[in-house]
Structure 1
């Protein structure tokens, strides 16, 4: 394995759109998947385009809209649909609706060839993946509402109930290793919408289960 950089931050490398706000709709899965596609698209093409979560909400029928969904199913929908349109073309409403004509492949702003699952319960494999692109993960976010900054190191469970985007990793000034995570609860939450989670915690699936169910799109 090649030596990986000690720090990666795709948000400062121009591959991450501004933090979004999902509101009361339980569609974190769509925000996580879209963020990963935005990231790899920018890395490969040099263009950062905000893509449409609403298209996934309305048109990805294998998922359950505001009642939850599967990130890999979202990637599969984007692959089968020959792409996903832009946020500007199909803006977020915060609730489910009918699939609009703006979802037609003619309006595609980004396409993927598929997705890869990161080997489960391996923070090393997750590190390798994140060194290449932003990666979608599922976490136990039960404690997140109380988070206001710093490296989250409290013991949280592994009830994977929230989808987020790992956009980097690094080491805090005190030597604590962390994952840099983009959430979809607006910029007023956490560290301007971001969260740092303890890396290499010793927990099998990573702290909050961060390494249990990670995946990323391919283009």
Structure 2
């Protein structure tokens, strides 16, 4: 092998190694000022100006596209479906069926930012709602990170804080960046799964069952 061939082979090998090491970046959720990134299988909500998995930075984002800085290069990304790494076929959306419980209510176990929660489904609540005690147990720093507001309750008006939860998960359905309200005092006594989550999934009532399905 000539010296030229050796140099060419080394250059090609280096190029192949760079290609094989390239990270896989997808935008699987878009919001004004934030994007849900999936980088090499790791999913995270990243706000504009912040850096997510793999060192990927969100430069700008709206409901149509996001500009990401990946390995020093800026590029516009549109919303993409979540594809299976093994088959290359779009994975089927996750589904959860909830049976009607005592009192005709729907109760379901889930999690907020990885911490277990027992939810009471409440289609009359505009957002996920919880009292101060529940927020403290979940490690939500609502007084510092929340936006003060006033909400209407069965007992009248109450002081509350609007917060954004990193993730809410029910079964295999996970929604990132979900708005919630932390209400001063002991009400509501349960963590209410309101419309800020339900509007982000497909749902229907069917013969005493509440059926949830993830949206792409």
TM-score normalised per structure 2: 0.29
Q: Which has the higher helix share?
A: 1
Going by fraction, where is strand more abundant, 1 or 2?
Answer: 2
- Looking at both structures, which has the greater relative contact order when contacts are Cα pairs under 8 Å and sequence separation is at least 6? 1
